[in-house]
Structure 1
Amino acid sequence: MAYPGEQLSEEKVFKDPVHRYIHVRDKLIWDLIGTKEFQRLRRIKQLGTTYLTFHGAEHSRFNHSLGVYEIIRRIIDDVFVGREHWDHNERLLCLCAALLHDLGHGPFSHSFEKVFRLDHEDFTQAIILGDTEVNAVLRQVGDDFPKKVAEVIAKTYPNKLVVSLISSQIDADRMDYLLRDAYYTGVSYGNFDMERILRVMRPREDQVVIKRSGMHAVEDYIMSRYQMYWQVYFHPVTRSAEVILTKILHRAKKLYETGYTFQTEPTHFYSLFSGNVTLSDYLKLDEAVILYYFQQWQEEKDEILRDLCSRFVQRRLFKYVEFSPTNEQMEKLMELRRLFKKIGIDPDYYLVVDSSSDLPYDFYRPGEEGERLPIYLLMPNGELRELSRESVLVDAISGKRRTDHKLYFPGDFLSDVSTKRATKKKIMEILEG
């Protein structure tokens, strides 16, 4: 065993705009940061296509992963140390899981996963358990240590307190991405008093709880999360870019399957198109690679692929209107599809309904799909009370899912009235009606 307790001869620090400094004293953490699999996260944006809406959102999953590590380090080294229910032997495991929790994210993350039916959590575990530099470093602690780290990230590790630090309704992951994403997008919605929350966190047998005196800081955190989802993460312009990105990948896959001859062969996509992605293939993908193809495909013979890539690269995004999946609206959608085909626009690529949904806070609902462990307050008498039982504000939004639907289309195609003027006019009347 090379690592347990082994410290660097001198502490390393990363200057960070959110946490001021990120401190690394453990040689194990320093070596993990230096692996090629972790360094790859520098080339994966934290917020995917959001930079096309908020131009400052260029930060990476590398930034975020270091931030989550730093929050966990502060909790276990400054707040939990010496407290009942906390086993200090879990320290390195927590730090590693925090640092590596996003290791398997691919380029443009969720949009990419939907098209190719991938799961970044599966790849995170594959990197940790596979023939990788990360695995080699983790195995220096013990042969079973990579498995333990993977279990924490997969939420199957027996110590639920450890899991809750990384993944719960108030965890280090959420706290960092709210503050970090607010900073880089330039909005104020995501800001909350993290210092106060850290000070009132307490370990219990199965999860982290919050002292009753910190309830208002937690209310602020939950409302910040709610605002960030609807003002930033689900911004309709960002969703327009995601729609185009998704359609580019769908089009390229379909062309490949029909034997189309690409001017720029999609070498990096072959295993994705065939559904046989190896870990080695996956690790070669980053956003620089994807954007290279999009840049090149602006010159392709296929008109749809060429146009979609040009739209993404040059930020000529789709317009949108509100849409509700009622019978009446669905009939209008079918009519729009017919009219799009009539003027030579393929509705499969240029008429897209996109939906976003979020549940800001929920309490325990046994047996329900996606059940969530609630946030508990530690009362002065030692009793634990579920947050919404004490907070009128949280009670008002508990269990309430908000869903939003938009219909996306190429406004420039329809504004060109040089041909098929009557049909285009009818399309606009339906869209504006």
Structure 2
Amino acid sequence: MSLQTNKLKILNDPIYGFITIPNALIFDLIEHSYFQRLRRISQVGFSYLVYPGAHHTRFQHAIGCMHLMQSAVQTLQTKGIEISEKEATALYIAILLHDIGHGPFSHALEHSIVVGISHEEISLFYMKELNKEFNGQLSLAIEIFEGKYARKFMHQLISSQLDMDRLDYLKRDSFYSGVAEGNINSDRLIAMLYVVNDELVLEEKGIYSAEKFIVGRRLMYWQVYFHKTGVVAGKMLVNLLRRANELVNKGVDLPASKAFRFFLNNEIHENNFEIGVLKIFARLDDYDILSAIKDWISHEDKVLSKLSEMIINRRLLKIEIKNEPIKDDYFKKIFEEKRNELNLSNEELEYFVFIDSIQNQAYDSSKSKINIYFKTGEILDITEASDQLNIQALTKPVVKYFICYPKK
């Protein structure tokens, strides 16, 4: 058996069954330490504090996305859309690496460890570095990922209102959380894909699956991603890191891994994020954060130790979610009550009593559209094509406001 044949592995996925690694290049990218790090990055942050099964990782999600992309390419080729082997491989690479820039706990710490850089920008940085290592073999994948390739529909398969990323994360997060509302029919949606005038469209027979997809996305956001327990735990983690940074800036030496210590000691932003920083970022994952938090429980700073203990033992702050902004009077009343109760200074109490908001938009047609293709040749946005009135309603952003404070 040649070395190349040995790289055509088959993985067993609980959702799709057997997933085939299509070629040796993809195998080598999966084996790379940058990609292997995703095994140690949780897919849905602190959702496991609500749904005990939600311990799946970005690694599983990326592999699942690649599998769906293989199905999409095959479907479109069967319908006469020409996709060369080179283009297909580039699509697999682009979707495989689309989330490689996520930091610990995925979205929860996105702007806490590195300031002002999105995970998409870090993913692109990783792809460009890997392209150097792999002698330019990722060039086309990067072009597609950035939306610069001539064939526009290829970028839409990676990033749009109906991309392989969304098709996998809704189905996967639904499976691992046990929240059945997100269990969309990804097979049906992919089977209905087509390309007209270089735009990705959905054949009219797929309209009901698309409606369920949009509704499923809305429900998953409110039931899983924005579940109040996950939201408050994420906010507490952000506050904990803010406190840690504050202490380090005052010269306090906090126990942490070398990689985590680097980001605590240095403010990393767009202008100083370079290859050396990328390599340290590649050593940082959920384990560094959790290990440090466990250590910080015994720290003499009471804000740091209290927040650490609350997160580790799931003794979270109380959260009240409302449809209207939290009134100043109510916030001040709670703030005063808790200051007297806990004997903390105003500055310390700000870590435990705070307000914020969350926003969900199930379908945003201003970014890209889910276009329905009719046999007559007519193409309509799903909000016009659907006779289900709530699809139109789901295009509007919904904002909810919350206040967090310690329980009695």
Q: TM-score, normalised by structure 1?
A: 0.85
Which of 146, 153, 156 is equivalent to 1:164? Answer: 156
Alignment of 1:147-186 (within 5 A): 147-186=139-178
Cα displacement (A) at 1:347: 2.6
- C-alpha contact 1:358 1:401 (8 A) present in aligned 2: yes
Q: How far, CA to CA, are the matches of 2:140 and 2:89 in structure 1?
A: 11
Instruction: Look up the SS of the partner of 2:22 in the other structure.
Output: strand
Instruction: Tell me whether 267-276 or 90-99 shows the greater mean CA deviation.
Output: 267-276
What percentage of residue pairs aligned between the two structures are identical?
A: 29
- Structure 2: which amino acid aligns with 1:392? D
Structure-2 change in CA distance of 1:129 and 1:204 (3 Å): same
Match of 1:80 among 65, 73, 76: 76
Shift of 1:397: 2.1
Conserved? CA contact 1:323–1:406, under 8 Å: yes
Higher relative contact order (CA 8 A, sep 6+): 2
Between 295-304 and 335-344, the greater mean CA deviation after superposition: 335-344
Structure 1 counterpart of 2:290, one-letter code: L
- Stretches of structure 1 that go unaligned for 5 or more consecutive residues are 1-5, 364-370, 416-433
Post-superposition Cα deviations, 1:37-59, rounded to whole Å, max 9, x if no partner, equal 11110000111111111110010
Please tell me the root mean square deviation across aligned C-alpha atoms, in Å: 2.1
Aligned match for 1:336, one of 326, 331, 334: 334
Check 1:299–1:99 CA distance in 2 against 1; reply closer, same or farther (3 A cut). Answer: same
CA distance in 2: counterparts of 1:382 and 1:250, whole angstroms? 55
Q: TM-score, normalised by structure 2?
A: 0.90
Q: Is the 8 A contact 2:338 2:406 kept in 1?
A: no
Kindly state the Cα deviation for residue 391 of structure 1 after the two structures are TM-superposed. Answer: 0.5
The whole-number CA distance in structure 2 between the counterparts of 1:243 and 1:256 is: 20
Work out the CA distance in 2 between the residues paired with 1:10 and 1:265.
37
| 1:84-143 superposed Cα distances (whole Å, 9 cap, x missing partner) | 44332411110111111111111012221222324211211111112x5x6423x2xxx3
Distance 2:143 2:314 in 1: 40
Which has the higher mean CA deviation after the structures are superposed, 331-340 or 308-317? 331-340
CA positional deviation for 1:385: 1.5
Q: Which residue number corresponds to residue 250 of structure 1?
A: 242
Distance (Å, rounded) in 1 between the aligned partners of 2:339 and 2:150 = 56
Q: What is the aligned partner in structure 2 of residue 374 from structure 1? A: 369
Instruction: Give the corresponding residue for 1:297.
Output: 296
**Rounded Cα–Cα distance in structure 2 between residues aligned with 1:81 and 1:172:** 17
User: C-alpha distance in 2, partners of 1:265/1:20?
Assistant: 39
Residues 176-325 of structure 1 aligned to structure 2 (within 5 Å): 176-262=168-254, 264-265=255-256, 267-273=258-264, 274-276=266-268, 278-323=277-322
Task: Give, in angstroms, the shift of residue 243 of structure 1.
Answer: 1.5
TM-aligned CA deviation for residue 11 of structure 1:
4.1
Label 1:267 to 1:36 Cα distance change in 2 as closer, same or farther (>3 A).
Answer: closer
- Aligned partners of 1:83 and 1:203 also within 8 Å: no
SS in structure 2 opposite 1:114?
coil
Q: How has the CA–CA distance of structure 1 residues 390 and 324 changed in structure 2, closer, same or farther, with 3 Å as cutoff? A: closer
Corresponding position of 2:28: 31
Counterpart CA distance in 2 for 1:249 and 1:206 is 45
Match of 1:64 in 2: 61
The count of corresponding residues between Structure 1 and Structure 2 is: 390
Match of residue 127 from structure 2: 128
Relative distance call for 1:54 and 1:398 in structure 2 (3 A) is closer
Once the two structures are superposed, what CA deviation does each residue of 1:239-272 show, in whole Å capped at 9, x if it has no partner?
111111111101100001112243x256433432
Letter in 2 for 1:385: L
Match of residue 380 from structure 2: 385
1:9 Cα deviation from its structure 2 partner: 5.8
1:348 aligns with 350
Counterpart of 1:359, as a letter, is Q
- Distance across 1 between alignment mates of 2:97 and 2:286: 19
Alignment-derived partner of residue 109 in structure 2: 112
| Equivalent-residue separation in structure 1 for 2:220 and 2:405 (angstroms) | 25
Q: Which amino acid aligns with 2:98?
A: H
Instruction: State the partner residue of 2:399.
Output: 403
Does residue 46 of the first structure (1) align with residue 48 of the second (2)?
no
Mind listing any 5+ residue stretches in structure 2 that lack a counterpart?
none
CA contact 1:7–1:25 (8 Å) conserved in 2: no
